[in-house]
Amino acid sequence: MLDIRFIRENKDLVTAAAKKKRIKFDVEELITADDKRRTLMTSTEKKRAEQNAASEKITKVATPEERAALIAAMKIVKADLEKEETEFKDVMVKWQNLMLQVPNVPDMSVPEGDSDADNKEVKSWGEKPKFTFEPKDHVEIMTKLNMVDFERGSKVHGFRGYFLTGDGVRLCFAIWSYALDFFSTKGFVPVLPPIVVRKINLFGSGYLPQGEEDLYKTQDGDYLAGTAEVPIMGFHADEVLAATELPKRYLGFSPCYRREAGAHGKDIRGLIRVNEFYKFEQVVLCEANHEVSVKNHEEINRNTEEFIESLGIPYHTVTNCGGDLGLGQVKKYDIELWVPKEGKYREIGSASYFHDFQCRRLNIRYKDQEGKLKYAYSLNSTAIPTPRILVSLVENFQQADGTIKLPAPLVKYFGKDVIGAAAVVVNK
């Protein structure tokens, strides 16, 4: 959500923002609603002031006649006021509805474009593996090693279902343990959040009202969040933090639920796009300062890059184009890992910052040095998603005999350095 005053003063900017994000939004409609809102507000407030003044007189006035006269007069004011208030409420509903649709303004550095195809590479790292044999895809590798079972997955879950089994499970646990250690050294507080959350948190973090169809819902009207970002952003909702507490850095770990409603034909095979997965997520709240926000953004993106580099998986980082940005995002980087069999990079996570877009909706404020209340700025970035990360991990490190050679940092956590062979057991 943006400040209505900002919107009024920067109509063109907001219009351009919507255009760049390929979002349909009519600023004039909002301004018209806001004009109405203001007029009605002033008018009802005047009537209420009148009412309050009369009310005070009624209590102080001596004679019953004067009293009766005042009460009679106020009956008329009351009727007027009620009519106006009804009108005001209707306008407010429309106004709020429109306010929730105002896109945040993307950064100057965000490239133009319609979709992820227009994202711009800003960095690439690592050497793509050259195989002396015909490489297999992760489905084949993992199925042969009994790390995953897609057939039974779809029997039990349906489309996009999977079971992780055996070393597939052990590998996930190894990655999780490593990730927890890795990000703990970066000053993050680990959090296991509730992932069944109340609707308000989805509005707050900007996933509603637009993303309804991609969310699972309970019979109580709660939702299964698609990321730990949602409950963690809700964590400090309606709170006033001290400036000295900032930045807050949280490392959330949670299952993630996504219906993938708009992606029926996409990635129908394998572990790339599933309805249910696990993810470590970095969430940061910082002071209301663009430079500080940018610095944190680069940092949390870099954290994930470093993590991937430590695993030795080739990747590149792209700046997302306007059309690939969410409603509240100012700028976003996607990190994409090399998938040898497909011969292309696949996204494993993104880092974005929001300025005060989310904190305004969630009412997360802090007292600055002068004691002034300000909305905090928020950012988040994927730390590591499983099982999606396994796709690249397994394909890049596959060997001619069908085994997988694990990258060094994981060996300690996994207990072996090769999956699928009678490998050497490493001392833990």
Residue 273 annotated among the catalytic residues of the structure: yes
Q: Which residues fall within 8 angstroms of residue 179, CB to CB, at 6 or more apart?
A: 280, 307, 383, 384
- Cβ closer to RNA: 94 or 273? 94
- Cβ closer to RNA: 67 or 302? 67
Interface with RNA, residue 5, by CB under 7 A: yes
Interface with RNA, residue 217, by CB under 7 A: no
Interacting residue with RNA among 23, 31, 74, 421 (CB under 7 A):
74
Question: For RNA, which stretch binds (CB under 7 A), given 22-30, 53-61, 108-116, 391-399?
Answer: 53-61
Q: What's the token pair of residue 167?
A: 């070393």
List, in sequence order, the alpha helices (H) in 185-271. 199-205, 229-235
What's the sign of the alpha-carbon dihedral 361, 364, 368, 372? positive
- Cβ closer to RNA: 94 or 346? 94
Residue 38 annotated among the catalytic residues of the structure: no
Q: Determine which one of 361, 365, 388, 392 is catalytic.
A: 388
Q: How many angstroms separate the CA atoms of 171 and 180, rounded?
A: 14
CB of 18 to RNA, least distance (A): 22
- Cβ closer to RNA: 19 or 374? 374
List, in sequence order, the alpha helices (H) in 157-224. 166-184, 199-205
CB of 110 to RNA, least distance (A): 28
Q: Determine which one of 254, 293, 350, 378 is catalytic.
A: 350
Instruction: With beta carbons less than 8 A apart as the criterion, state whether 299 and 407 touch.
Output: no
Interface with RNA, residue 89, by CB under 7 A: yes
Number of H helices and E strands in the chain, helices first, is 13, 18
Interface with RNA, residue 54, by CB under 7 A: yes
CB of 359 to RNA, least distance (A): 13
Interacting residue with RNA among 6, 35, 69, 78 (CB under 7 A):
78
* Binding to RNA in span 369-408, by CB under 7 A: 373
Q: In this structure, what DSSP letter does residue 324 have? A: G
Q: What's the token pair of residue 102?
A: 């105002």
Interacting residue with RNA among 6, 26, 29, 55 (CB under 7 A):
55
Q: Which residues fall within 8 angstroms of residue 69, CB to CB, at 6 or more apart?
A: none
Q: How many angstroms separate the CA atoms of 256 and 304, rounded?
A: 18
How many other C-beta atoms are found inside a 10 Å radius of the C-beta of residue 121? 11
Q: Give which of 89, 123, 88 is closest to 317, Cα–Cα.
A: 123
Residue 28 annotated among the catalytic residues of the structure: no
Interface with RNA, residue 58, by CB under 7 A: yes
Q: Beta strands 344-353 and 331-339: pairing type?
A: antiparallel
Residue 347 annotated among the catalytic residues of the structure: yes
- Cβ closer to RNA: 69 or 263? 69
How many other C-beta atoms are found inside a 10 Å radius of the C-beta of residue 155? 11
Q: How many angstroms separate the CA atoms of 124 and 41, rounded?
A: 55
Which positions from 23 to 42 touch RNA by CB under 7 A, shown as an x/- string?
A: ---------------x--xx
* Binding to RNA in span 316-375, by CB under 7 A: 373
Q: Quick check: bond before 209 cis, omega within 30?
A: yes
CB of 366 to RNA, least distance (A): 11
Q: Determine which one of 22, 170, 273, 346 is catalytic.
A: 273
* Binding to RNA in span 283-312, by CB under 7 A: none
Residue 152 annotated among the catalytic residues of the structure: no
- Cβ closer to RNA: 70 or 418? 70
Q: Determine which one of 37, 249, 258, 361 is catalytic.
A: 258
Interface with RNA, residue 11, by CB under 7 A: no
Q: Which residues fall within 8 angstroms of residue 147, CB to CB, at 6 or more apart?
A: 141, 164, 165, 166, 167, 168, 169, 171, 390, 394, 419
Q: Beta strands 240-242 and 365-367: pairing type?
A: parallel
Interface with RNA, residue 51, by CB under 7 A: yes
| Active centre residues (catalytic) | 258, 273, 347, 350, 388
| Binding footprint of RNA on the chain (CB under 7 A) | 4-5, 38, 41-42, 44-46, 48-49, 51-56, 58-59, 70-71, 74-75, 77-78, 89, 373
